[in-house]
């Protein structure tokens, strides 16, 4: 996910739009038994202002995971907006070097920060019985009788 600022400057442009299909590493995912179900889509606009580069847009991803309560396979989908600055000198911004902006670290950060602590197959999932492990969505077990 690299954008060549020098090439933009040579074309006399101060910005561009971009789209990347990013094969994100499943190691980013803190949820158990999870993997990305496809490429992460990154779309946005880039604007060069002096040595600062501003990017904004959307990251959308989808994860194959399991329900945190009942362990049923569940897909989690998320769209994360971003609006960030890249700068070779500003410590508050993402760095860039040699007139190329690499979005990878920023996109990874946004994905990590947007991950849920838990995913549910449905809002009112009843989960598993802590005693016998029965799926309580499929009916009450005999433990509380």
**What is the closest distance, in whole angstroms, from the C-beta atom of residue 63 to Zn ion in the complex?**
15
Give the residue with the Cβ less far from Zn ion, 50 or 133: 133
Q: Do 136 and 121 contact (CB within 8 A), yes or no?
A: no
Closest CA to 103 of 14, 13, 18, 12: 18
**What is the closest distance, in whole angstroms, from the C-beta atom of residue 118 to Zn ion in the complex?**
10
Spatial separation of the C-alpha atoms in residues 86 and 55, rounded to whole Å: 8
Give the residue with the Cβ less far from Zn ion, 13 or 122: 122
Binding positions for Zn ion, rule: CB under 5 A: 67, 69-70, 72, 121, 125, 129, 131-132, 134, 141, 143
Structure token pair of residue 32: 């158990």
Give the residue with the Cβ less far from Zn ion, 80 or 134: 134
């Amino acid at each position: 996910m690299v954008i060549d600022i020098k090439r933009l400057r040579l074309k006399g442009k101060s910005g561009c739009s971009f789209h990347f299909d990013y094969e994100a590493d499943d190691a980013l995912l803190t949820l158990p038994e999870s993997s990305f179900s496809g490429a992460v889509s990154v779309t946005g606009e880039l604007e060069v202002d002096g040595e600062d580069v501003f990017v904004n847009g959307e990251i959308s991803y989808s994860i194959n995971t399991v329900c945190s309560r009942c362990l049923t396979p569940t897909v989690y989908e998320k769209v994360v907006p971003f609006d960030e600055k890249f700068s070779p000198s500003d410590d508050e911004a993402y760095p860039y070097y040699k007139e190329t902006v690499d979005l990878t670290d920023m996109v990874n950060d946004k994905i990590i920060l947007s991950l849920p602590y838990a995913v549910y197959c449905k809002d009112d999932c009843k989960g598993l019985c802590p005693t016998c492990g029965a799926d309580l969505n499929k009916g009450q077990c005999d433990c509380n009788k």
